[in-house]
Structures are given as C-alpha cells and as structure tokens.
Amino acid sequence: MSESAPSTPHDSSRTLEVRVPEMDCPSCAGKVTNSVERLDGIDEIEPRVTSGRLVVGYDPTQTSDAEIRERVRAAGYEIVSAASELTLSVPEMDCPSCAGKIENALEDIDGIGEIETRPTSGRVTVETFDGTDPETVVDAIGSAGYDATPVGNARESVGDEQPVWQSRRAIGTAIGAVVVTVGMALEFVLPALDPTLGTVAGRSYELSHLLFMLAVVVAGTPILRNGYYSARNRSLDIDFLMSIGIVASVAAHHPFEGAMLAVLFSVAELLERFSMDRARDSLRELMDLSPETATIKQADGSEETVPVDDLAVGNTVVVRPGEKIPADGTVLEGSSAIDQSPITGESVPADKAAGDEVFAGTILESGYLEVEVKSEADESTIAQIVRMVEDAEREKTEREQFVDRFASVYTPLVVVGAVAAAVLPPVLVGASWSYWFLVGLTLLVIACPCAFVISTPVSVVSGITSAARNGVLIKSGKHLEAAGESDVLAVDKTGTLTLGELSVTDVIGLEGATETEVLRRASVAERRSEHPIGQAIVGYADEQGVVTDEHGVSNFEALTGKGVRADIDGTTHYVGKPTLFDGLADLEHVHRTTDGGTTLESVSGGRPQCERDGCLDVLSEVVPDLEAEGKTVVVVGTEDGPIGVIGVADRVRPEAEWAVSRLQAQGIRVVMLTGDNEGTARAIADEVGIDEYHAELLPDAKLEWIDRLADEHGGTDEKGRVAMVGDGINDAPALATANVGIAMGAAGTDTALETADVALMGDDLTRLPYLFALSGKANGVIRQNIWASLAVKAVLAAGAPFGIVTVIHAVVIGDMGMSLGVTGNAMRLANVEPETPPGIDHEGDTRVETRP
C-alpha cells in the first residue's frame, strides 16, 4: 500500500491507495465500493481490478485511513501489508560493487522490505513500511558512502547530468596527477634536485616521496573513504582492495606505487563513470521524448500553459506544428501529419484527423490539433515504455547470473593468491620482500572483477534502449538474450502476416451488370449489416465513389451464417455465401458481363450448348479459384439469378514477404500457425514464402505445436527455444508458452504491453528481422565482453610473478582499459538499425483484380 500527501494542496482532501489482491473482478470491486462509500467524507473511489488496488479520495476531517481499511475488510477482503515504494537517485552507484555496499547497508534497517539496486540507471528502489521515512533510507545509503536523493518521477531518477570531469573527484585526481608527475621528474629525471628531507624508522624520505604521499592524500582520499565503507559493510570489493593496496604501499616504503595506484585508479573510476553516463544517456533520451509543459484550452477559449504532470483526463490540449503531443489522447479538431517514430520507430509520418488516436511524445509536422487527454502523464504509452525499459534491469540474464556466481568465487581466490604471493616466497625461500610485495599488490588489483561484472548489464541496457528507440520494446535482458537464441519463429496469420482488415479484392459483373452496379446493390444491402464482410464491401464502395441511395431499401434482414436480404427499388436482393442461393437461383450457368460487346472467354472455355459468350459456372469455376487464393466469395443477386460475384480477403502486409525472407536468411525456421482454413493458409503461406504452415488450429492446438517445435529443435536434455509473434490478445496462451512472446501493434494497447515479452509498437513486420539481428549481436557482444575480461585478467595474473606486469599495467589495462573496452563494445549495439525494404508502400493499395 502507498499513501500520498494531499492530492490537492488547496483543500484538505487526501488520497489513500491500498493493495487488495483478492479484488479481481467487477463484482468484487462493487462490494468493496459499496462498503467504503458508506463512510462520510468519501470524495472518490477508484477500484483498479487489473492491479488489485483501491484508490480512495477522502476528507480526513470526516473519516480516517483506519476506517477505510476497516470497511474494506468488512466487505470480506484482506489488505496486503501497508508498504510503499521509495525511489532514490544515487548517481555515484555505477557498478555492482557499489550496489552491494548499498544493499548491505539497507538490510540492517528495520521497516525496509525488498531492495532493488540498478547501477546502470543510478537508482535504488526500496519497499518501506509504515513509520519508515525517506530520511532513514537516505541516511542508511549515506552510511555506505553514497549520496542519495528521493525522486518523484522517472525524468529525475537516472543518475546525474553534471559532467563527470567537473566533479570534485576529477579536480582532486588532476591535482594528484600533477603532483605525481613532479615527483617522478625529481626521482627519475632530476635526482640532483630531489633532496633528502629526513629519516624515519631507518628509512630516508626525499622530496619526491613526500610529493607521492601528497598525491595519495589528494587523489586517494575518495578511494580510502569508499574502502572504509566497504569494510564497514563487509564488502570485498575493489574500493576495499585498492585501499589496502594504497595503504600497504605507503607503509612498506613504496610511496610511488601507492601514488600511482591512487591516481590511476581514480582516473579509471572517472572513465568508468563517464562510460556509465553514456549508457544512462540512452535512458535520458527516452525520458526526454515527452514534453515538460502542455497548452490547455479552457472552456472560454483561452489557453493556459501547465506542467504535463498536471494534465487530467478530459482536458483539451492544443498542439501546433513542431510541438510534441503532451499526452495520449483523441483528436477533437484539426488534421496533421505526425512523426510517430518515438513510439513506433516508423519514420514515415502518419496522417491524423478528428477521431484518431495520438500518443504523447510524437511530433506534429504541420497543421493544428486539439486533443482530448485520455491518460495521465505517468500512464501514457511513452511513460510505460520508459518504465519498462528501466525495469528491464530487474531480471538477470543467464550469463549475468553465471558472471555473478563466478565473481563470488574468483575474487576471494585471487585475493588469497595475492596475499600468498606477497608473503610465502620471502618466508619460505628468503626472496625479496620488496619484489614480492609488488607482485602481491599487482595481483590484488587484478583480483577485482569490475569489468567482468559490468560486461553483461551495460550490454543489456544498451541493446534494450536501442530497441526502444526503434519501436521494439523488450521487457528484460533475458528476453533480449532468448530472442537471439531462438531456433524457430511461430507466426500467427490474421493481424500478423495479414493486415487483419477485410477488403474487396475482386468484382465480377454477371448477366450484363457492370462492376459499379454490383458494388452499388451490394453496398446498399450491406449498409445496415454489422458483419465485417459487409462493412468491407460498404467501405470499398465508398472509396470508389459509388453513389448509393438507402431510401429505396426496405425489409432488411440479416440471415445468420449466410448473408443478408433486402428489397432494393422494389426487388428482393440477396448478398451472401453461394449456399444462400441453393434452391433460389441457378449459379451453374451464368454469363460474364462483356466489355463493350467484346467476347470474353469463360474460365472453362465456354459451353458448347450455349449460344451466348462468357459462360461461367460460379460453383465449380469461380468459387474454387477465389478460395484457393484465400478469399471469401460473396454472391450478389435476386430470385431471377446472380448479378455479380465479389471476392473479399484479409490482405497480406506489404512487408510480410520481405520480413520472412530476411528471417530465413538469418537461419530462423519460420512456421505459420493459424486457425483459418487450409486453402487460405496455403495461399497466404505461398504468397509470403513460408514453406511450413499448420491450419485450422484451435488455441489448444497452437500450444501443442509450440511444444512440438521446441521438442524438434531440442537436445536430449532440454527443449529448443521457440519465439512466437501474434496480435497479443487472441494468441495470448501461445505467446505465453513460447520462450519469447512477441506482440504486434502494441502502441496504445495496455494488454499487449503488459503481457508480451517483446512488443512491436507499430504494425510493422520489418522490426522482426531487426529484433533477431539486434538480439544475436547483443549475445555476441556479451560473450566477447565476458571472455575478453577473463582472458585479460588471466594474462595479467600469469605475468605478475615474473615482473612483466606491474601495478600500472594492472590498473591501466586490467581495470581502466577493460571497463572502457566492455562499455564501448556494448555501445556498438546502438548502431544496429532496422532495414527498410525498398519499394514497399506500408499503407498498402486498394487495387482490385478484374477476372477474365
């Protein structure tokens, strides 16, 4: 449960939000609402069945939180623990080691439940219970050595936008570097100018030594401070190890090594922070898509500029050319081309007019729009995308889990090896303490698996944010990983390979009726029908400018499962399936309307016994031909006979064939699963280039095929990986069963956004090859980062005992170099762009075939 401060500062109203998991249907919501509204002072009750939450606005002078909770329980429903979520920005938390220290510090605090740290976004989210205020959480994080700030929205939550090179640590590091350089010049270049200042405990100290120790103080203080907090929080991390190394170097009369370690490690930390900021920038770019202010049109026609967060459902906002639409909504007035690429990734502007849906963050290219707000700022499509991209850090990939397990064993072992290297040779064989101390110090630096640990999460964030900018929303790193490892892609037909919208494809005039006349009569009869086929005919007639007059229509009747009947100009007409004309009119011997008297060959070549040209047998010649192409046949006629045939089909997406060919070129087996009939399935599969299809499948059968495909591609011990793409609603069971469920056209569709593993924000199949290409490259980058990190660490560790690798090499190559390397390699994923198929009109065309 979460409670907020007064929702409207100008009065005493408050809002209480409680979790009621068992309130999972409208009936439950009704009972809870009826029980709570008996209290005095209840201003508003909003039961949210899908999330199991109840939001109540109330006057605290007339009722209380406790009374509201009691009324909920009186209705028979339990309230889950009164916990709220607190989000804090912790900019300096930029690696798993930092996250570990913060988690250790928070675990000791009473009143805190689940803790979630996200180094890539510099954010900590904790579950707090009644009585735990934000200051307690901030203080706990401060005890780990990090500054934390509670944040109110996602825009504030991602790290710190201050350039890292302007930070206090950067200034201290620069001063330390200058001091070290002067000390090196005195000791190694100009020793005559390096006087001995004194002797302590039998050791002489030159001016250069003091300069090195000064560099340790200036550049190493943040390291020693963090090392102290690491020790305090029982964290064997790089700050602790480096602190031990620096202190030990100075104590063992190796101030130069200690100074170099302090300066170089500080530089490495700054570079790592800079690299992490680049990853965070991709998140900030998503957040910046939504404007900060909106222009509201008041009832009197005046305009007022307000923060986007203050918009309410039902407000009318004004948007002018070049401005971003501030909220999801519906166009009330005006028309314009809108750049929807921030949502769908499609660069071609979409034309919008009154009644059309628009999304926050999209850009008006021309014209003027008045938009009615349909969702609040934090519930807009772009807000959901940002929230889900941030949440993608929550579930670790299999490789990330492996890295964490490996690092938990690797680091202690190398630390033990470093101590052994520093102590055992001098003790056992009388070797040089100074030499083996430096070897141990080098191994201590190598022991930190920093680059190794960040190699996977920074790649995941880079890949997921890159995908989001191109209209593909990937819910988590494990789904990014799984898509690239999929062996087979199961594809739904309706709404996926096809547009999901019926349209007229063929018009055949019979017995002297022209195509226009056939369309006129069919559309007049169907105009009162609600059937999708009838609506497709009416829509096409309107597009073709066919003039219709409904005044002459009477006695309309819908014939369930067959078609419609209506009197047009006093004559009864029938429009429907060929079976509608059984016993009514002869369809086996009709004549095709000729074009200006020109004789047209019939499909069968004519009938010898008929003296007229253009003989057709609709049942055995026309109907089979159209159905073989996946089309539905509609016959138009009267009791005297048919006057025409219309073919209707769900059109294949223009980019479907290209997308399928690209997927197959990537080595992915594409299989179509559909509930449609065999003929239609075969026609669509042939058109788009799919070799394998399975038709007439009920939802259960689709599930069985998902399992069967997984078995076919699996080994002896595990199943293969199967991805499935569908419309996100009708195919929900199959999408949930597949290793990766991909939903089409999820923009503005909460169900698809919430249930799919991957959501293609626009109805654009070109994003499928892009998804698999990006995922495959991401998996390759992660593997490269992991093995390169391990290989470099191994080579450095092997060279340390022989003096080939020094502390400087360990820091510059093993820590600084590899951290930059894995981050830079991960950033390459931002360069993966969707391919655009040449010569394809995504709007489709409306050309209709005329059959000879």
Catalytic residues: 492
Dist. CA 546–CA 200, nearest whole Å: 105
d(CA 444, CA 248): 11
Residue tagged 């939550």 (tokens): 157
Helix and strand element counts for the chain (H, E): 26, 34
Contact of 756 with 746, CB cutoff 8 Å: yes
Residue ranges of alpha helices (H) inside 477-622 are 477-484, 515-526, 532-543
Decide: 453 and 410 in contact? Cβ < 8 Å.
Answer: no
Amino acid at 1: M
- Supply 190's token pair: 């100009």
Q: Which residues of 543-577 are buried (b: 16+ CB within 10 A; e: fewer)?
A: ebebebeeeebeebebeeebbbbbebeeeebbbbb
- Tell me the three state secondary structure of residue 604: coil
d(CA 279, CA 819): 13
User: By the 8 A CB rule, do 646 and 578 touch?
Assistant: no
Q: H or E stretch including 435?
A: helix 433-446
Q: How far apart are the C-alpha atoms of 52 and 471, rounded to whole Å?
A: 30
- Residues counted in the chain: 852
Q: Parallel, antiparallel, or unpaired for β 571-576 and 669-673?
A: unpaired
**C-alpha distance across the termini of the chain, in Å:** 69
- Rg (alpha carbons) of the chain, rounded to whole number: 35
Helix (H, G, I), strand (E, B) or coil at 800: helix
d(CA 672, CA 694): 6
E-only strand ranges, 415-483: 472-474
Beta-strand (E) ranges in 688-793? 692-694, 722-726, 740-743, 758-760
The span from the CA of 61 to the CA of 40, in Å, is 10
Q: Which amino acid is at 354?
A: A
Angle at 297 between CA 294 and CA 298, to 5 degrees: 125
DSSP string, 117-146: EEGGGTEEEEEEETT--HHHHHHHHHTTT-
Residue that the structure tokens 């007339």 belong to = 62
